[in-house]
Structure 1
Amino acid sequence: MATQFVRYTPDVEKDDPRFDQNLQTVIKKTESYIAESVGAGGTGRALRDAHAKGYGLVRGEVEILDGLPPEYAQGIYATPGTHDALIRFSNGSPHAGADARLGAATGLALKMFGMPGPTLLEDEPDTGTFDYANINGPIFFCNTVEHYLFIQDLFLNAPAYFAQGRPGMHRFFTDFVTGKGTLDRDDWAWDEFLAYLRLSKTPPVNLLLSSYWTMGAVRHGDHIAKVRFTPEPSAAAKVVRRDLDTASEQEVFRPALQAELLERPFTFDIQVQLCTDLARMPVEDTTVEWPERLSPSFTVAKLRLPRQDISGPENLEKMDALSFTPWRVTAEHAPLGNIMRVRKEVYRRSSIERHQLNRQPRTEPRSADEVLGPLR
């Protein structure tokens, strides 16, 4: 029997009557944190409110594969071909500092060039770029914008909690589950807390050896999907610097990435997992991992990273000046669900605030060469 994939319709998303009100509160807190980070963040610059520490800006090429089955050959994946790309590897924390302090939640943000069609960003529809902003976990620890309000507070203030040792850690956990005392016992955020614990136990490995997911669901043309970048097995087998000890040095992720790319190329498979059951593969509940047994991830493209030198400080400066957002996509790939929807305006306003404070021009590049220069 052929697999029946769920067709996309607008009603797969639930309307939140308090969405706009909560969104404005999130934006206000985000802009305040970014402004304060100039003095408090330890770098003298405005930090992102998430993925504040970058590990490197990498040149790449995306090959969209030919001969894909019709249900996967949707949107940008309906047209085979190659596109230049830039990749930003980062830590998921809103703070900067030693890798051991920040943990092993990491991200891979991808920007593809020469993509046809208007984006969903009304203030920059014709950039010709297409972004993903993925994390190294198949789930997320927040399901509603209302819960995001207190979870955002917890993460922005995490150093103050954990500086108090075990009592501070216990208070952090209690405030997470109870919504800082705002939630009724029957509504305590257990699913989100357990998702956070699972993600916090991610072991530190070379950034090339992690898989990176879209966190929430996205449209895939006529269908609903999650997209991940996963190491191509043959490329992963060649990586020398594999398990990392964050206690051994202040910096471990960037040196390992830098050394590998200087010695050999690398390839990720870009894979699409189509939804077959909205009950077991939900759109609004991001704490639920979509089971591969219900719908295996299918490779639709290759992300190839050539050998390159990312060691110079200018690499980090160029990386810091870029913006990545899951909403710089075409309508056929729109992010789905309230948590994904809140990211649209929060990412945009965050980018504007950060670029203004750092006196950086906020313009989308037209090619990888424009940012990094020709590959030598």
Structure 2
Amino acid sequence: MSPEFVRYTPEIETIDPNIDVLLEQIINFWEKKGRESPRTEGTGRAVRGAHAKSFGLVKAEVEILADVPEAYAQGFYAEPGRHGALMRFSSTSGHLGTDAQLGPGLGLAVKIFDVPGEKLVEDEPTSNTFDLVLKNNPIFISNTAKHYLFIEDIANNIHAYLARGRAGFHQLLADVLTGRGALKQPDWAWEEMFALVRTATQTPLRNPLLTTYWTMGAMRHGDYVAKIRIAPAVDSAAHAIHPDLDLAADADVFHPTLVDELKASAFTFDLQVQLCADLTAMPVNVLTVEWPEKLSPFVTVGRVRLPRQDISGPENFEKGDALAFNQWRVTADHRPLGEIMNVRRIYSASAKVRRTLNHQSQTEPVSAESVLP
């Protein structure tokens, strides 16, 4: 037992009493975006509402380590062993385009196989998969479902704002702050506006294999509360071919970088847990706040190993596109916490629309090898 860490109780979450109404509106937004995406993105195929552009689907192995401190060895992370996995590297943008156009957000989605236990995704409780959905920034750009709805709509049109230069950028910030004029001044989205600026300007664009990724939101961690990150191991960074990238060099830079690196070398990431030690400084319900490591450092509980492999073929994109990743495809010991993480439950609805339009299977794969032999 570790009394310095916050114990999980359901009361640490705050959820808007009108969440069901807001979720219905958010689902309608994402489903509409998905149905329109074959036309709006110009490919004739439905694309993800977020993380639309894939940089590559990679076969991996996740090892949960032995001798992890008890407070960190909870639930799935309490059983040492090795699991097959798939990792999808992507832009976080909901649009397609050149890598330079899509902004600094990079995503990493991990699907871990052979994880027993009932999962919290309602349509797939018996699947043997366990998902992590992460981004190259420790914070998110909204704290409530109400703010999420209009901020995602604004973000969907961010290119139109930025095309107007300085005036467009100022209008973007004003629209986020005031909810396009719909919010009363006490409800202005100050934290969200500052988070948007931070994520848009302070996230370095790097080789995806040399980038750190966070869950952003908190999750139950057995008896405790945690955030998860996946960070490149120091020895892997030392042999990278492309430590620095020039996005102006070509329309597609990240995918060729992954191809080159993984043909040449294996890579390793550290799978790490940060436990909540103070609900004021490390809030569950405010995702625009980064949890300070000085209060609770990240502790390595596992390794994610990417063997040498060839992901250069066009079928790699097709296989990655057919997968769905969801923060709620976890066991109850790792339940996502807070209003925004509850909102992200609805991503399965937009995934159904996308896969239906693209005539793809709605079922989970049974192993990494069944997708990438």
Q: What is residue 241 of structure 1 aligned with on the other side? A: 242
Mapped to 2, the partners of 1:267 and 1:131 lie a distance apart of 18
Match of 2:255 in 1: 254
1:44-85 per-position Cα deviation (integer Å, ceiling 9, x unaligned): 211111001110000000000011111111001111000000
TM-score normalized with structure 2 length: 0.98
Contact 2:111–2:129 (Cα < 8 Å) also in 1: yes
1:33 matched to which residue of 2? 33
> Amino acid of the residue matched to residue 348 of structure 1?
S
Do residues 142 (structure 1) and 142 (structure 2) align?
Answer: yes
Partner residue in 2 for 1:12 = 12
Letter in 1 for 2:285: E
Amino acid corresponding to residue 132 of structure 2 in structure 1: Y
Could you say which residue in structure 2 is the equivalent of 1:326?
Answer: 327
Q: Distance in 2 between matches of 1:132 and 1:276?
A: 22
> Which stretch shows the higher mean deviation, 84-93 or 180-189?
180-189
Q: Is the 8 A contact 1:195 1:287 kept in 2?
A: yes
| 2:369 maps to amino acid | D
Residues matched between the structures, number: 371
Structure 2 CA distance for aligned equivalents of residues 184 and 59 of structure 1: 49
> Does 2:190 align with 1:196?
no
2:270 is aligned with 1:269: yes
- Tell me, in whole angstroms, the C-alpha distance in 2 between the residues paired with 1:230 and 1:371: 25
| Structure 1 CA distance for aligned equivalents of residues 228 and 189 of structure 2 | 26
2-side partners of 1:91 and 1:281: how far apart?
A: 27
Q: After TM superposition, list the pairs within 5 Å mapping 1:1-376 onto structure 2.
A: 4-201=4-201, 202-344=203-345, 346-373=346-373
Residue by residue over 1:14-60, the C-alpha shift from the partner in whole angstroms, topping out at 9 and shown as x without a partner, is: 13111111111011011111111111112221111100111000000
Which letter maps to 1:295?
S
User: The residue matched to 1:255 in structure 2 has which SS?
Assistant: helix
Task: Give the superposition deviation at 1:193.
Answer: 1.1
Q: Tell whether the 8 Å contact from 1:215 to 1:286 is kept in structure 2 after alignment.
A: yes
Tell me how far 1:98 sits from its aligned partner. 0.4
Output one character per residue of 1:195-223: Cα deviation in whole Å (capped at 9) or x when no partner: 11111121210001111111100010000
Distance 2:198 2:249 in 1: 24
Measured in 2, the distance between the counterparts of 1:290 and 1:60 equals: 28
Give distance in 2, aligned partners of 1:285 and 1:18: 18
Residue by residue, what CA displacement relative to the aligned partner does 1:71-124 show, whole Å, maximum 9, x if unpaired?
111001111000000000010000001011101201110000011111011211
Contact 1:93 1:102 in 2 (8 A): yes
Contact 2:15–2:338 (CA under 8 A) maintained in structure 1: no
Cα distance in 2 between the residues matched to 1:166 and 1:207: 30
Deviation string 1:155-209 (CA, Å, 9 cap, x unpaired) is 1122222233333222212101111101122322121111111111212100011
Q: CA deviation at 1:154?
A: 0.4
In structure 1, C-alpha distance between the alignment counterparts of 2:198 and 2:161, rounded to whole Å: 19
Structure 2 residues without counterparts, runs of 5 or longer: none
Q: 2-side partners of 1:203 and 1:299: how far apart?
A: 23
State the distance in 2 between where 1:243 and 1:188 align.
Answer: 38
1:3 positional shift: 6.2
SS in 2 for 1:322: coil
Assess if the C-alpha contact under 8 Å between 2:63 and 2:302 holds in 1. yes
Greater alpha carbon shift after TM alignment, 86-95 vs 358-367: 358-367
Q: Distance in 2 between matches of 1:360 and 1:240?
A: 35
Letter in 2 for 1:60: A
Which letter maps to 1:289? E
How much is the aligned-residue C-alpha RMSD, in angstroms?
1.0
Q: Percent identity?
A: 54
User: Whole-Å Cα distance in 2 between the matches of residues 102 and 243 of structure 1?
Assistant: 18
Q: Select between 283-292 and 35-44 the one with higher mean Cα deviation.
A: 35-44
Structure 1 consecutive aligned stretches of length 4 or more whose deviation exceeds 6 Å: none
Q: Which amino acid aligns with 1:6?
A: V
d(CA) in 2 for partners of 1:206, 1:267: 14
